[in-house]
Amino acid sequence: MNQTRSFLLIAWLAVAFLLFLEWNKAPVAPEPSLATAPAAATAVPSGLEIPDAGAIPSAAEIPAVASPDAAPAPGAPAAANAPAPLTITTDVLRMQLDLRGGSMVGAELLAYPVNKNQPDIKVKLLDTDPRHYSVAQSGLVAVAGSAGAAPSHEAIYRAEDGRSDYRLADGATQLEVPLVWTDAASGLSVRKTFIFTRGSYAITQRQEIRNQGATPWRGAAYEQLLRSPPPPTSRTSGLTNPEAYSFIGAAWYSPLEKFEKFKIPDIFEDGAQSRDVTGGWISMPQHHFVLAWVPGETEPQSFSLAPLTNGNPRYLVRSVSGQIEVGPGLSVTREATLWVGPKLQEQLQAVAPGLKLTLDYGIFTVLAQPMFDYVLKPLHDLTGNWGWAIILTVLIIKLILYPLSAKQYQSFAKMRAIQPRIEALKERYGEDKQKFQVAMMELYKKEKVNPAAGCLPILITIPIFIALYWMLLESVEMRQAPWIGWIQNLTAPDPYFILPAVNLAVMYLTQKMTPTPGMDPMQKKIMTFMPLVFGVMMAFFPSGLVLYWCTNGILGLAQQYVIGKRHGQSTTPVASS
């Protein structure tokens, strides 16, 4: 019985199975039937009760989300007469700001092309195209009985300075875009200012609510994200397209319940959900990027999540504040932050506690996050190249595991030395496998050979392998990162299959150097094909992952050769008795 070899085979098959499942997790965009899907969920729970101050507005008081492909509501301006969106350009963002509601309806990330070979086509996170519909909205709503109206996400603002194009000036650190809305009848006015900062994807929204009327105004503020599910992705294209299986949906965070995420199919199947919190944030994550609204840290909020089926299926996540009161002649200023950009971990954590959790490494977060924070990123800061950082990571892991690996390869060398004696035992006992196994174990004991000595290094290496796999796929810092020569994108497969071929050769040589005492012919045939199977599989994996495995295999092969040669010279096989 060859426990070590059997274990290695099982371990490799387990890795293959896990990775195969991950590569084929292609979430299909939900297509709910209008007859059976949950009702159009503009019904947002009323939320928090503020003692001695009245209730915040109910869902019915917040205007329904209009479907852009639906007919305009009675009394609403026709699309042709709607004000043209403002264009805002910074060093990292190009935004479209709709004067209807002061909503963000377009966002291009200037530093992130969709495809490295087409640098002029940028990633869009906000868009009014029905196929990729995604907008960030905000508004105010008055409580029942309050004097005066309030500007919802359907109200028409005007640009305070009359401009339609805003650009961050050279040398400037900030750009302000002020919008104003006024209700002459009640004396209520709102100045909504968006503040953009150089190098940042965090946009500050500042609302100054001024009451020039004779009676107090009471209401609430809300922020919401509205998006269409992505088009269905075939499992075939999903094999090489990480976006086909990366998490896309909605998520929110509260100090008590922490991070909660909701997959798109669950949103449409489970219907509306809500949570009352103080602080926290709402978001819509996707592969490498995220949209998020972050209200004030100490504000009471009512979070809600719901599917919308009035027209094309969409889903909405919303945050409603506690009650805001503005007395006559007074003003109140409220701020919220909109994040529109990549999942840059340090910046996200600086914006709000827990916001970096939108970067999801799955069940291997406990290993992947420390590896990224304390190993890969510092090595990248040192070398300036993620490829060399991966190679140095392998060297560090090999140094840490050297004592275990040395025992593993010494065990292999001893097993190779006694392999002729095992073959002799196999011939002696013929078909009596039970006696053969007993005799082989006695031989192992006599020669102090531990066939399971090689298991622990494999047990440690495989989780690291999968953790790095998730880091390469989910860390936007590594997105489209080059290494050397022909590898100009570590998160894409090797275009010329050089690394997979090297990996196949290394696996083949490693197999040839590894003893197989007691293995039956069928097992030997299976093991013969293993390098080819994994070589083909690796051809579809990100080249950064194959680089890790190649480096690990080459160092392991060299270590096995040196230790095996040294140990083999000091071991004298004993004649079979």
pLDDT digits 0-9 by tens, 390-408: 999 989 988 887 777 677 6
The answer on pLDDT for 576 being more than 90 is no
Greater confidence (185 vs 87) lies with 87
The answer on pLDDT for 192 being more than 80 is yes
Provide the pLDDT for residue 361: 84
Provide the pLDDT for residue 36: 30
Provide the pLDDT for residue 61: 53
Position of tokens 């590898």?
Answer: 487
CA distance 58 to 62: 7
Contacts 24+ apart (CB under 8 A), 212-215: 212/187, 212/188, 212/328, 212/329, 213/147, 213/148, 213/186, 213/187, 213/188, 213/328, 214/187, 214/328, 215/147, 215/328
Q: What is the DSSP string of 276-303?
A: EEES-EEEEE-SSEEEEEE--TT-EEEE
pLDDT digits 0-9 by tens, 248-263: 999 999 998 899 999 9
Least confident of 44-53, 191-200, 316-325: 44-53
The answer on pLDDT for 308 being more than 80 is yes
CA distance 310 to 320: 22
The answer on pLDDT for 304 being more than 90 is yes
In this structure, the number of other CB atoms found within 10 A of the CB of residue 338 comes to 23
Q: Report the chain's C-alpha Rg in angstroms.
A: 31
Least confident of 33-42, 173-182, 375-384: 33-42
β-partners of residue 299 are none
pLDDT digits 0-9 by tens, 53-77: 234 454 445 665 544 444 343 334 4
Dihedral of the CA atoms 44, 50, 51, 54 (nearest 10)? Answer: -70
Fold for the domain defined by 31-360? Beta-galactosidase; Chain A, domain 5 (2.70.98)
The answer on pLDDT for 317 being more than 50 is yes
pLDDT digits 0-9 by tens, 218-272: 999 999 999 999 877 654 444 445 566 678 999 999 998 899 999 999 999 998 9
If you average pLDDT over every residue of the chain, what do you get?
Answer: 80
Classify the phi-psi angles of 455: left when phi > 0, otherwise alpha if psi is within -120 to 50, otherwise beta: alpha
Q: What is the DSSP string of 384-421?
A: S-HHHHHHHHHHHHHHHTHHHHHHHHHHHHHHHHTHHH
The answer on pLDDT for 440 being more than 90 is no
Provide the pLDDT for residue 38: 31
Please, what sign has the CA dihedral across residues 122, 128, 131, 133?
positive
Greater confidence (13 vs 296) lies with 296
Per-residue b/e over 131-159, b at no fewer than 16 CB within 10 Å? eebbbbbbbbbbbeebbbbbbbbbbbbeb
The answer on pLDDT for 570 being more than 50 is no
pLDDT digits 0-9 by tens, 459-476: 777 787 788 778 877 889
CA distance 482 to 22: 24
Split at pLDDT 50, 70, 90, the class of 567 is low
In this structure, the number of other CB atoms found within 10 A of the CB of residue 294 comes to 25
Per-domain boundaries in the chain? 3-19+369-569, 31-360
Could you tell me which of 220, 206, 248 has the C-alpha nearest to residue 50? 220
Provide the pLDDT for residue 244: 62
Provide the pLDDT for residue 451: 65
HSE-CB for 44 with a 13 A CA cutoff? 30
Split at pLDDT 50, 70, 90, the class of 155 is very high
Split at pLDDT 50, 70, 90, the class of 452 is low
Give pTM, 2 decimals. Answer: 0.79
Strands 103-115, 249-254: pairing kind: unpaired
% pLDDT > 90, the chain: 45
Greater confidence (49 vs 301) lies with 301
Provide the pLDDT for residue 294: 97
pLDDT digits 0-9 by tens, 472-520: 778 898 899 999 999 999 988 999 999 999 988 988 888 777 655 555 6
Contacts of 155 (CB under 8 A, 6+ apart): 100, 101, 139, 181
Contact 66, 73 (CB under 8 A): yes
Greater confidence (551 vs 45) lies with 551
Provide the pLDDT for residue 165: 96
Please, what sign has the CA dihedral across residues 469, 470, 474, 475?
negative
E strand intervals along 116-216? 118-126, 134-142, 158-159, 165-167, 174-183, 188-197, 202-211
Greater confidence (86 vs 404) lies with 86
pLDDT digits 0-9 by tens, 347-369: 999 999 999 999 988 788 888 88
Provide the pLDDT for residue 86: 97
The answer on pLDDT for 301 being more than 90 is yes
In this structure, the number of other CB atoms found within 10 A of the CB of residue 359 comes to 25
Could you tell me which of 355, 294, 298 has the C-alpha nearest to residue 319? 294
Provide the pLDDT for residue 531: 78
Provide the pLDDT for residue 523: 65
Q: Which amino acid is at 573?
A: P
